[in-house]
Amino acid sequence: MSRLSNLAESLVGSEIVKLGNEINNRIRNGEKIYNYTIGDFNPAVFPIPTVLKEQIIKAYNDGYTNYPPADGILPLRAAVSQFLNTYEGISYENDEIQISSGGRPLIYSLFKAVVNPGDKVIYAVPSWNNNHYTSLNGGIPCEIQTTAENNFMPTVAEIAPHLPGAALLCLCTPQNPTGTTLSKETLEQICDLVLAENQRRGPEEKKLYVLFDQMYFTLTYRDTKHYHPVALRPEMKAYTISVDGISKSFAATGVRVGWGFGPANVIAKMKALMSHMGAWAPMAEQVATAAFLKEEAAVNTYLTDLKGKLEQRLWRIYEGIDQLKQKGYVVEAIVPQAAIYLTLKFDLKGKSYQGKLLNTQADVTQFLLGAVGLALVPFNCFGADADSPWYRISVGTCQLEDLDVIFDSLEKALAQLS
C-alpha cells in the first residue's frame, strides 16, 4: 500500500473513540453498559434551552440557510461581547471575536496561526487533545505531568522553567478531563510569568501566546469561582486567545456554535484560515444564538437549572465513592468543582477477580466494564501515563435512578477482588 503524507502516516486516532467502539459492541451484544465516557449530554435529561430551540426553528422558517460571514454574523459577535462583559467583566470589540462551528476549529486555527513546526507547546497532562493538536502542527510537546495533590492542574513552579522559547501555553479551566480549576492566585502568577517572558523577548521575536479554553466556565459549583486572565491582568489581552461557546454551558453540543476572542491581529489570521476550512457555525444557529444570548433572564434561568442537575449528580457520585473508600476499598474521588466531570481513582492493579489477575490499568478498565457495566475514560487517553489509576466520569448522560444500581454492582464487584 502506497505511503501517504508524513502527517497522515503519523496520525494517532482518538483513544476515546476507540473505547467508545468497544462499548458500542458490548451494547450490541446485549450487555447493560452505563456509558459515562462521552463529554456530551443526553437531550432527554438535559435539553437545550427552549428559547434557543424556538429561535433555531424560527431562523430556518425565516430562510436563514445561506453562507454566514467568515467571522460570524455581526449580531452574534455583539451578543457574545455583551455576554462576556456581563459574566466575566471583560470587554472585546467585534473584530476581536471569531465565530466557528464549536471550539475545535478555533483551537486548530490558533495552533496554525502561532505555532511553527519545531516550536515548543506547553500543556498539562491529563488534558483534552493538546497532544494531538501539537502533533498535527509539528510542534514540540512540553508536557507537564500533573498530580492529584494539585487537583491535576499545573502549578506556577512547573510552568515557569518551560516558558523561554515557547510559542504557546495551553490552559484549560475548568479542565477537561478533571473537572478541576485554576485558583485566582495561580492564574495571576501564570499571567505574570507570561507578561515577564514577553517583556524579555525582543521586538522581532515571536511572542508567547496563551490558549485559554474556558468552554465550561459557567459550570462551577459551591465556592468554586472561574477567573479569566484578562480580568486579572488587563495586559494579557495582547497574548490571550480564549475558546468558548454554547456546547457545554447550554448543553448544545450538536448545535455547533462556538466563539474565540483575543487580539484582533491573531483573530484576523484565524478568520483567514477558517475561511479556507469552511468551519462556520450554520447561519440559522448563529441567528438563533444571537437572539438567545440577549434574553438574560432565560439565560440565567437555564444556567441555574442545568448547574443544579449536574451538581446533584457529581456530588452523588463523589459521596458514593467516598462511602466505598470508608469501607476500605481502594477507590477515591476529587471533590466536585466544575464542568460535567469528576475525577475517580481505581487503584486495583495487582488484584484478582474470579481467578484473573489485573496486571495492567487496562485490565482494571476492563474489570469495571465487564463486572460492573461501568464505562469510564482512563486518564491515559488524555496523555497521562498508561499506569495511571485515575479516570474521568462524565455525568451529561447520567440518570439519577441508575446510580444506586451502579454503586450496588460496584461494591459487589470490589468485594470479590482478592
Helix (H, G, I), strand (E, B) or coil at 153: coil
- The tens digit of pLDDT for each residue in 188-219 reads 999 999 999 999 999 999 999 999 999 999 99
- Answer yes or no: is pLDDT of 11 > 80: no
- Residue 266 identity: V
- The tens digit of pLDDT for each residue in 246-257 reads 999 999 999 999
Give the separation between CA 38 and CA 73, rounded to whole angstroms: 31
pLDDT of residue 18: 75
Q: Which of residues 53 and 20 earns the better pLDDT score?
A: 53
- The tens digit of pLDDT for each residue in 99-148 reads 999 999 999 999 999 999 999 999 999 999 999 999 999 999 999 999 99
- The tens digit of pLDDT for each residue in 300-316 reads 999 999 999 999 999 99
What interhelical angle do 283-293 and 50-61 show, nearest 10? 140
Grid cell locating 219: 459550570
pLDDT of residue 1: 59
- The tens digit of pLDDT for each residue in 281-300 reads 999 999 999 999 999 999 99
Grid cell locating 96: 476581536
Domains of the chain listed by start with CATH number: 6-46+301-415 (3.90.1150.10), 50-295 (3.40.640.10)
At residue 12 the predicted structure's pLDDT band, cuts being 50, 70 and 90, is confident
Is 209 within 8 Å of 114 (Cβ atoms)?
yes
Q: Residues 305-335, buried b or exposed e (16+ Cβ, 10 A)?
A: ebbebbbebbebbbebbeebeeeebbbbbbb
Give the separation between CA 397 and CA 387, rounded to whole angstroms: 27
What interhelical angle do 400-415 and 296-326 show, nearest 10? 20
- Answer yes or no: is pLDDT of 5 > 90: no
- The tens digit of pLDDT for each residue in 60-89 reads 999 999 999 999 999 999 999 999 999 999
Residue 82 burial (10 A CB sphere; 0-12, 13-18, 19+): middle
- The tens digit of pLDDT for each residue in 218-234 reads 999 999 999 999 999 99
Between the alpha carbon of residue 191 and those of residues 67, 91, 156, 182, 417, the distances in Å are: 38, 18, 10, 12, 47
Helix (H, G, I), strand (E, B) or coil at 248: coil
At residue 358 the predicted structure's pLDDT band, cuts being 50, 70 and 90, is very high
Grid cell locating 338: 466544575
At residue 29 the predicted structure's pLDDT band, cuts being 50, 70 and 90, is confident
What DSSP assignment string belongs to 354-378? TTEE--SHHHHHHHIIIII-EE-EE
Give the separation between CA 25 and CA 6, rounded to whole angstroms: 32
At residue 21 the predicted structure's pLDDT band, cuts being 50, 70 and 90, is confident
Between the alpha carbon of residue 136 and those of residues 56, 114, 399, the distances in Å are: 34, 13, 37
pLDDT of residue 382: 93
Helix (H, G, I), strand (E, B) or coil at 338: strand
